[in-house]
Chain A
Amino acid sequence: MSALFAAETTFDVPANVAFGILAVLMVVAAIRVVTTRNVVHAALWLVVVLGGNAVVYLILQAEFLAMTQLLVYIGAIVVLFLFGIMLTRAPLGESDDLDNSQRILGAVVGVLLLGVIGYAVARTWGTDRLDFAAYELPPRIEGVVSGSGNGRTQALANTIFSDYLIPFEVISVLLTGALVGAIVLARRD
């Protein structure tokens, strides 16, 4: 109790409460994505997971990533999924024909995977604290206007366009290639 009402104002308690609610919501939504018998509902539950991801990025103080997540995933990819559902004439109501006969095998693989990763995570539980109050920009990044409130986004831009310029250009070429490829594959002739 005394830790909860400690003298210094800290980001920790509200962030932890938000994270707890969000984590439960995201896990339930993710399980619904892979178990629901309605294809459209799966896409809508996916929106919950992706939006929760954006809020997790906000908790981790990655504002630009959170906005990108909202724009790209919820704005574009989910719409693409809904188009895919519509164009392949998926059954719009409930359907028992969405899963194959490997449910038990899939559950075993998933639980085993979670057990292995969860064991590793539990072994090191509590060794690394995220102290956001002390989080500072890496000192070698030049030209960041401090105190303007969006220094982290500026630093991110500086990192992309200095250290990761060539991967960035490669990603642009990849996106162009993928879009041209998608049009070539999907057009009717």
Chain B
Amino acid sequence: MLLNQFLLLAAVLFSVGVYGVIVRKNGVLVLMSVELILNAVNINLIAFSTFWGLSGQVFALFVIAVAAAEVGVGLAIVLLIYRNRRSVDIDRLDELKG
């Protein structure tokens, strides 16, 4: 097996995730796209860890833990937005725009 086939799969998943972050306007769907990006990074880390020892796998575990924390807080924020505005359309949250 080649290393680069894993890198290519990760690149495709990463690009699809970036497209989702740009295009989606439902807050929950944006968080799902962020999960796609994080998983693509994990594939890279584990593929490279077959060369350079187990550090890559350790960092992939850390990424999984951070992703779990991120989804917990992110969904709480989305829920709060919904409670305050009756909508999770994040394109309408533009108070910070001058």
A: residues with CB less than 8 A from B are 12, 15-16, 19, 23, 26-27, 30-31, 33-34, 39, 42-43, 46, 49-50, 53, 56-57, 59-62, 64-65, 68-69, 72-73, 76-77, 80-81, 83-85, 87-90, 97-100, 102-103, 105-107, 109-111, 113-114, 117-118, 121-122, 124-130, 132, 135, 138, 152, 155-156, 159-160, 163-164, 167-168, 171, 174-175, 177-179, 181-183, 185-186, 188
Assuming A80-B72, A171-B62, is B1 touching A129 (CB within 8 A)?
yes
- CB-defined contacts of A90 to chain B, threshold 8 Å: 26, 28, 88
The chain B residues found within 8 Å of chain A, CB to CB, are: 1-9, 11-20, 22-29, 31-33, 35-36, 39, 42-43, 46-47, 49-51, 53-55, 57-58, 60-62, 64-73, 75-80, 82-83, 88-89, 91
Bound-state CA distance A1–B67 (Å) is 44
Q: Is the CB of A27 within 8 A of B32?
A: no
Q: How many A-B residue pairs have CB under 8 A?
A: 245
Contact B88–A76 (Cβ < 8 Å): no
Question: Chain B contact residues: over half helix, strand or loop, or mixed?
Answer: helix
Query: Within 8 Å CB of A182, what residues of B?
Result: 72-73, 75-76
Q: Specify the chain B residue showing the minimal Cβ separation from A46.
A: B32
Expressed in whole angstroms, the minimum distance between the Cβ of A172 and any Cβ of chain B is 8
* CB closest chain-B residue, reference A16: B1
Q: Given contacts A90-B26, A106-B19, is CB(A27)–CB(B71) below 8 Å?
A: no
